[in-house]
Amino acid sequence: MESFVIEGGVRLSGTVRVHGAKNAALPILAATLLADGLFVLENVPDLLDIRSMAEILMALGVRVKREGEMLVVDARGLRSNVVPEALMSRMRSSIFLMGPLLARTGEAVLGYPGGCAIGTRPIDLHLEGLKKLGAVIHEYGGTILARAPRLEGTTIVLDYPSVGATENLMMAAALARGTTRIVNAAREPEIQELERFLNAMGARIRGAGTHAIVIEGVERLHPPRPHRVIPDRIVAGTLLAAAAITEGRIVLEDVIPEHLEAVIDAFRKTGARIEVAPDRIAVEGVRPYRAIHRLSTSPHPGFPTDMQPQLLAYLTQAEGTSVLVETVFDGRFRHVPELVKMGADIVVDYHTAVIRGPRRLVGARVRATDLRAGAALVLAGLAAEGVTIVEGAVHIDRGYHRLEETFAALGARIVRTTERPLLAPEGQV
């Protein structure tokens, strides 16, 4: 079991490059199944989730080779459309494979996806959308079997602008017969990135970034020229929060500031100084800083749910009472009891957290329960007095490449350790 050990109280300073976006790279990896050929993907971060997706592709016969930040994917060997259950349950994004496999092979057999423990995460929108495209879907036991000799274009109205469902349906519809319209589509930057990638493969898609995406199906797709994955806006946001909470001063390089508008706006409201240039952001934390009266997470371009835990950790040190409402996922406040252990004053009522600050944070042993909750605990540790041990580094590794090295390079005192689980002394429970 790996943990991060952090000695808080250092103001971060320096320049840091932001790595490629996990959530853009994952659907792009799934999209390689749509064409017979060799793909070169650049700026693909070496993260656990990316490795899991690569393992799934390899189990289907695809060859994946990493060379630094580049992945070379040879999809010519695709020989199976059955995703092994053990791999499927590792992460939720494996559901993306359903659309491409169906479109390319006419059939897909998958288990139910796993992923972060952040509440109920159904896949009904994915399945309903694929059914509208003509797939016949049987579910039995833990297995989903989908069949469609050829998908047929249609209009799909999503009940909710789900990121994953929008991506899955875009990939499936790219090879369908006729035109598909996805109405109430997600508008996240990763959707636009997938549109760019698929169009470079020969797809005919427009409208990504708006509520309606139109896909004119084509007969065949081909690998594009080498594709560079966009920078990770959530990693950038997390680093920005780290500078702000430590009253530090850092420069983020290789970022797309437009992808971070809601995040920048929220931190500016508290008083943090943020300057934006076309591909860099300079952040300077100030003390004291103001609470945020009320902020709700929402689909893009709203404040991202993937930054809620980090913002919440930051607001424990703000002057006054903040209210954060989580509208995207249920059960996404699992970092709260851990922050309270460190001295924060937070009360959660269903979807709403009320944070009273500032309260002095003191180092403690805390546990990361999911990726972004883990990031929030690391941020709290950076600002706390004394030593914080964040258990469950494995969750954080799913989305941040060697986070401890990134922070150490900015001056933080943070190391990774391997610990055995502590056993209770004999006679005690």
| Residues recognised as catalytic | 116
Is 151 annotated as ligand-binding? no
Burial class (CB in 10 A: 0-12, 13-18, 19+), 99: buried
Is 74 annotated as ligand-binding? no
Is 337 annotated as ligand-binding? no
Q: How far apart are CA 311 and CA 305, in angstroms?
A: 10
Query: Looking at beta carbons only, is 138 or 287 nearer to ligand UD1?
Result: 138
Query: Looking at beta carbons only, is 132 or 329 nearer to ligand UD1?
Result: 329
Is 422 annotated as ligand-binding? no
Closest CA to 167 of 34, 75, 262: 34
Interface contacts to ligand UD1, rule CB under 6 A: 23, 26, 92-93, 121-126, 160, 162-165, 186, 190, 304-306, 328-329
Name the closest residue to ligand UD1 (Cβ).
164
Is 402 annotated as ligand-binding? no
The distance of closest approach from Cβ of residue 251 to ligand UD1 in the complex, given in angstroms and rounded to an integer, is 25
Query: Looking at beta carbons only, is 134 or 304 nearer to ligand UD1?
Result: 304
Is 159 annotated as ligand-binding? no
Is 334 annotated as ligand-binding? no
The distance of closest approach from Cβ of residue 367 to ligand UD1 in the complex, given in angstroms and rounded to an integer, is 20
Is 48 annotated as ligand-binding? no
The distance of closest approach from Cβ of residue 255 to ligand UD1 in the complex, given in angstroms and rounded to an integer, is 18
Query: Looking at beta carbons only, is 74 or 370 nearer to ligand UD1?
Result: 370
Query: Looking at beta carbons only, is 104 or 398 nearer to ligand UD1?
Result: 398
- Cis omega (within 30 of 0) for bond into 299: no
Closest CA to 99 of 51, 140, 53, 151: 151
Query: Looking at beta carbons only, is 88 or 163 nearer to ligand UD1?
Result: 163
Q: How many CA atoms lie within 13 A of 146 on its CB side?
A: 32
Binding residues for UDP-N-acetyl-alpha-D-glucosamine are 92, 121-125, 306, 328
Binding residues for phosphoenolpyruvate are 22-23
Binding residues are 22-23, 92, 121-125, 306, 328
